[in-house]
Amino acid sequence: MIELKNDQLVFRFADVHADARLTIEFQRTLRIPDDDRTYPLPPGLGRFPIRHVDDFAVNVPEPWIEHGGVMLPMYQSEALWVNFHSSYPFAVRVATGKIDAVTGKQLRPGLGRDPQNYLAIPEQPWLDGYCVKRGEIRQFVAMPLGAGYSAEEQITGAAESGGLQLVAYPMKAKVYERLRLDRAGLVLGRGEFTKVFAMAAPDMGLAPGGRMRQEIFDDPHKLTDWDQDHSGRCFVHLANSFAWRQITGEVPPTVPPTAKEYTKAGLPWFEYYDDRLEAVAGSSIIEQLKSVAGMGREKGDVPLPENQAVHATPIVVLRKGLAKGQVREGTF
Amino acid sequence: MAKGFGDFVRKRREALRQRDERFSVRQVAQRIGVEPSFLSKVERGDVPPPSESKVVALARELGEDPDVLLALAGKVSSDLQDAIRKRPELFGSLLRELKDMPDHAVLRLVREVRDGKW
């Protein structure tokens, strides 16, 4: 079951294992320049608010009620990253507009290893975008659904789903118990409604933005270790922030700082490595997509204000998997 | 007990701090309205956990469930205490009835995110 608590989605599989609890939240962040340079990880600027679509059924588009799930507000050209928190292992699929963010293929049920179509949690702490190639992603950037920028529209030619979809599968309880022993503490029904007013279409989709260094880790477990008989899924609708107040009566978060403002203030960027893990190769489907800036140039639009390159320093390097005092062998 | 609470808070705060400087001891302390030195002592287990309202504020900051953090601090949320005090017979028997039930049975009472057709 999935619960919404404190702007976080809490997935629980009490019938699999008492520890099988996964928290997923969406972090506000700055948009990195979409200029084909590769940037480090941008910071987290706090959680996006999340609400049940059912609580605002009168004000949200009809398909949102059909999809069920939750919603959060995003400005056009705003970026987000997904933060995972669990000590119990999970395989999590992330799709935008029902296009898998790791493989670029249509979201169909089930986990696959060739290519890997999921993230292994807790090894994968974050996801900032679409897996373009080994060690590189393109940032998730919100664009109005129907404007042609989203990964969904570029791949399927239609603006049908939008939003972001999550499907989580817990590890089989017996595998978890075995790992735990091995490692002594795994680190690892609505009524009738009438629309009362018309408003701008609030539906946003995610599109590939600037390039960023981030590894999607190859699953260190076996495919059969995951309990595919149990899964929980959630449709996360993205509402244009300008419509958020009309929908919910709440003020959306402010516009995040630009990459330039952030860097000028001397605030840090991040890099994350885990020396125990390999990265999966990227998706050739996603690699071929046009970035928001690239498509804007074709359309004669300027979809991304403030898109100048920045010198992303200082960089804080976060490194997992080295024993204390161990010297890391680099590439040379 | 204080040590377990402090350890838990420190680990979670440091995990969040990896990508967000606002999770330094100083800034978290400031946001929940305590002295940074006090929060450090709490994390080290040198002093007992803070008051209920501070534990709840800390839970919200860290994205943890307030009830879980309160339990780690050896406390029960005052709204739950009030609920029991107001209707002691009803809630007393309800809790006794539920306390040995498996999690999945109890979770049926919690509001789920509704899934639809997509």
Q: In the prediction, which pLDDT does B2 show?
A: 56
Residue A29 lies inside a defined structural domain of this protein: yes
Q: Which residue of A has its CA nearest to B67?
A: A5
Task: Reply yes or no on whether the pLDDT at B71 is more than 60.
Answer: yes
Pairing of strands A269-274, A315-320: parallel
A255: exposed, middle or buried (Cβ count in 10 Å: 0-12, 13-18, 19+): exposed
Residues of A in contact with B118 (CB under 8 A): 66-68, 98, 161, 165, 235
Instruction: Please report whether residue A56 resides in a domain.
Output: yes
Range 48-107 of B in CB contact (< 8 A) with A: 59-60, 63, 65-66, 102-104, 107
Give Cβ neighbours of residue A116 (< 8 Å, ≥ 6 apart).
A102, A103, A216, A218, A219, A280
What residue of B is the nearest CA neighbor of A271? B19
pLDDT tens, per residue, chain A with 332 residues = 899 998 999 999 989 998 999 999 999 999 999 999 999 999 999 999 999 999 999 999 999 999 999 999 999 999 999 999 998 999 999 999 999 999 999 999 999 999 999 999 999 999 999 999 999 999 999 999 999 999 999 999 999 999 999 999 999 999 999 988 776 544 443 334 444 444 557 899 999 999 999 999 999 999 999 999 999 999 999 999 999 999 999 999 999 999 999 999 888 999 998 988 999 999 999 999 999 999 999 999 889 988 999 999 999 888 886 655 555 555 55
Residue A264 lies in a domain: yes
List C-alpha distances in Å: A5 to B30, B55, B65: 24, 16, 8
CB pair distance less than 8 Å for B104 and A14: yes
Nearest partner of A254 among A74, A82, A81, judged by Cα: A74
Interface check A192 vs B, CB under 8 A = no
B18 vs A318: CB contact, 8 Å cut-off?
yes
Candidates A3, A18, A44; nearest CB to B113: A3
C-alpha dihedral (A122, A126, A132, A138), degrees to nearest 10: 180
Domains within chain B, CATH numbers bracketed: 2-72 (1.10.260.40), 78-107 (no CATH)
Retrieve residue A28's tokens.
Answer: 């506000």
**C-alpha–C-alpha distance, residues A210 and A29, integer Å:** 13
Pairwise CB contact (< 8 Å): B113 & A268: no
Q: Cα separation of A170 and A225, whole Å?
A: 9
In this structure, the number of other CB atoms found within 10 A of the CB of residue A327 comes to: 6
Residue A305's domain spans which residues?
Answer: 2-320
| Residues of chain B with C-beta less than 8 angstroms from the C-beta of A85 | 15, 63
Tell me the torsion sign for CA atoms B14, B20, B26, B32: negative
Number of domains in chain A: 1
With respect to residue A329, please indicate whether it lies within any of the assigned structural domains.
no
Pick from B13, B77, B113 the residue to mutate for testing the A interface (most A CBs within 10 Å). Answer: B113
DSSP state at residue A217: B
DSSP code string of chain B: -HHHHHHHHHHHHHHHHTS-GGGSHHHHHHHHTS-HHHHHHHHHTSS----HHHHHHHHHHHT--HHHHHHHTT---HHHHHHHHHSHHHHHHHHHHHTTS-HHHHHTTSPPPPB---
What is the distance between the terminal CA atoms of chain A, rounded to a whole angstrom? 48
Closest residue, chain B, to A232 (C-alpha): B115
State the pLDDT at residue A184.
Answer: 53
Chain A residues 83-122 with a CB less than 8 Å from chain B: 85, 98
In this prediction, residue A75 carries a pLDDT of 95
> Smallest Cβ distance to A68: which of B15, B63, B115?
B115
Cβ-based contacts of B59 with chain A (< 8 Å) = 6
Task: Report the SS3 class of residue A156.
Answer: helix
Q: Chain B residue closest to A87 (CA)? A: B12
Note the pLDDT of residue A327.
Answer: 59
Asked whether residue A181 is domain-assigned, the answer is: yes
Take residue B42 and report the two structure tokens written for it.
């709490």
* A328 part of a folded domain: no
Asked if B20 lies within 8 A of A45 by C-beta distance, the reply is yes
Task: Evaluate whether residue A331 is within a structural domain.
Answer: no
Indicate the pLDDT class of residue B102, thresholds 50, 70 and 90: confident
- DSSP secondary structure letters along A177-196: HHHHHHHTS-----------
Q: Would A326 be classed as within a structural domain? A: no
Residue window 248-307, chain A: list those with CB within 8 Å of chain B.
267-268, 270, 272
ipTM higher than the 0.85 cut:
no
In this predicted model, what pLDDT tens digit does every residue of B28-67 receive, in sequence order? 999 999 999 999 999 999 999 999 999 999 999 998 989 9
